Structure 1
Amino acid sequence: MLKVVLIDDEPNALVSLRWELERSCDDVVVLAAFERATEARDFLRDNPVDCIFLDIEMPDLNGFKLLEAFPERPFSVIVTTAFNQYAIKAIKEMALDYLLKPIDEAELKTAIEKARQTKNDKIARESKGKPVPVSPEFGATKKIGIPYEGKILFLNPAQITYCEGDGNYCYLFFDSGEKLFVTQQLKAIDAKLVGFNFFRIHNSYLVNMGKIAEYRRQQDVVVLVDGTELPVSRLKKAQFLNQF
């Protein structure tokens, strides 16, 4: 799942971009859309985001000025503007892509694919060499085997909070806060976890039912014990509620 934020002082541009993303990119979640760059800056300081779509010419804060507030840049940047004179500066700012308005659908999909790959590469780097958390009772617990970098990791399912699918890859999130990048599809992980109290609440999410703290009916969202919020798809809702 790719979490994005849209920043543009033109309301119609925000509506159009959100509609196009939600229509053609199933794995993209628009966390927020801002007409004021200063509000976006404050949001980005407090919330983890994978990628931002950033306009340049905005009245309260120039897009490049907003980027100066994030020298370590914890997110990818896709520039969206009606002007082509900012391309060189965008490259210097390490923007993933530069989309001219009106945004072409094919170019948008290409930019999203770049953002996906950047996220995958980042998680792979963070996972590499990190020990997977193991509980004291691990040896006495039934384990599942996960292929990882030429070896097989034997994991305790009880320590897995949830799994997130992303195309041909998958991310496993643990109670300890660690996450593991796996080169298997979510359906393969789902099959391994049969009988361990996991449920596929969404095409992209497999959750440990024992880690759910609450279900919010109006938003169709589950909140896990660590505060993580995950969507429940309409197709899975009835079956999910029957688990209780």
Structure 2
Amino acid sequence: MDSITAILVDDEISNLKGLQRKIEKLFPVIKISGAFQKPEEAIVAINKEEPQILFLDIEMPRMNGFELLAQLKNVNFQVIFVTAYSEYAIEAFKKSAIDYVLKPVDNEDLVNAVNKALNLIKLKNESDNNSKLVSLLEENIANNNKIVVPTKKGVSFIPQDEVLHLEGYDGYTKIHLIDKTTIMSSYNLGKFEKLLNSKFFKCHKSHIINLEKVRHFENEGYVVLDNTYRVPISKANRKAFLSLFK
């Protein structure tokens, strides 16, 4: 794992230095970019540096830990409260802290709390990287007339000519292929609508069809694809659909 940035906040200098020594000894991967006794100075540094972990004392003069969090622009990091008061624990979790450590800080408690934070950071980084990868693939593959389909097993690259029909429901999309197989994707139908070329037509709020596979239009409100596959078409879309074949 790459180095992880952290900021420490505690109004007592002995606690601050003691915690810093423990973190540096137990977690060389963590780079402490700042240690602050004054909450006001900490707020400026946190907003500027955007650390990945914040070790935060709760009981401080002028401003407690919860009040400090409330003044930050974004709380896009893991919070570990360090406190002498166990009754704060429940409220700490309600404030989205992943854990808390009681003073005097026990090494085992600290290791458990930090490991939770590191695991969450890793999961977030993997999720962000996967999203960036999929976006990049979509951009590069669009010119080749393929669609990128994230699935439970990975990512599929489907030539658009092999897509017969896309069916959306409950936020997911089932992709029906010409070989009669299907692929389920976590993308909603609206996402695919933006990725498909002009050969596709949204005939219903829950259905997109490949116009090259259309064989019949049925007056009762269906489009037949490849002579056997029937897809509903809404009344609102029938006129636009038929105009495509004039």
Q: TM-score range by the shorter chain?
A: 0.5 to 0.7
Specify the alignment match of 1:94 in structure 2: 96
Specify the alignment match of 1:179 in structure 2: none
Over residues 24-49 of structure 1, what are the superposed CA-to-partner deviations in whole Å (9 max), with x where a residue is unaligned?
11211111000001110111111121
CA RMSD of aligned residues (A): 2.2
Q: Secondary structure at the match of 1:67?
A: helix
Which ranges of 4 or more aligned residues in structure 1 deviate by more than 4 Å? none
Cα distance in 2 for residues equivalent to 1:130 and 1:80: 35
Specify the alignment match of 1:106 in structure 2: 108
Cα distance in 2 for residues equivalent to 1:150 and 1:88: 38
Cα distance in 1 for residues equivalent to 2:131 and 2:90: 36
Q: Secondary structure at the match of 2:131?
A: coil
Cα distance in 2 for residues equivalent to 1:94 and 1:107: 18
Specify the alignment match of 1:124 in structure 2: 126
User: Which residue identity does 2:99 align to in structure 1?
Assistant: D
Cα distance in 2 for residues equivalent to 1:70 and 1:128: 28
1:5 pairs with 4, 7, 16, which one? 7
Name the structure where helix makes up a greater proportion of residues.
2
Alignment of 1:64-103 (within 5 A): 64-70=66-72, 72-103=74-105
Q: Could you say which structure has the greater relative contact order, defined with CA pairs below 8 angstroms and 6 or more residues apart?
A: 1
Report the Cα offset of residue 71 of structure 1. Answer: 6.6
Report the Cα offset of residue 70 of structure 1. Answer: 3.2
Report the Cα offset of residue 118 of structure 1. Answer: 1.1
Cα distance in 1 for residues equivalent to 2:60 and 2:17: 17
Cα distance in 1 for residues equivalent to 2:114 and 2:39: 22
1:19 pairs with 8, 18, 21, which one? 21
- The worse-fitting range, judged by mean Cα deviation, of 68-77 and 84-93 is 68-77
Specify the alignment match of 2:50 in structure 1: 48
User: Which residue identity does 1:101 align to in structure 2?
Assistant: K
Cα distance in 2 for residues equivalent to 1:130 and 1:2: 21
Q: Which has the larger radius of gyration?
A: 2
Cα distance in 1 for residues equivalent to 2:94 and 2:136: 39
User: Which residue identity does 1:114 align to in structure 2?
Assistant: K
Cα distance in 1 for residues equivalent to 2:131 and 2:124: 13
Percentage of identical aligned residues: 34
Cα distance in 1 for residues equivalent to 2:5 and 2:131: 26
Q: Is the 8 A contact 1:36 1:60 kept in 2?
A: no
Cα distance in 1 for residues equivalent to 2:89 and 2:11: 19
Cα distance in 1 for residues equivalent to 2:55 and 2:136: 35
Q: Is the 8 A contact 1:38 1:60 kept in 2?
A: no
Q: Secondary structure at the match of 2:80?
A: strand
Specify the alignment match of 2:211 in structure 1: none
1:34 pairs with 27, 33, 36, which one? 36
Unaligned runs of 5+ residues in structure 1 are 137-148, 152-244
Q: Secondary structure at the match of 2:123?
A: helix
Cα distance in 1 for residues equivalent to 2:66 and 2:110: 21
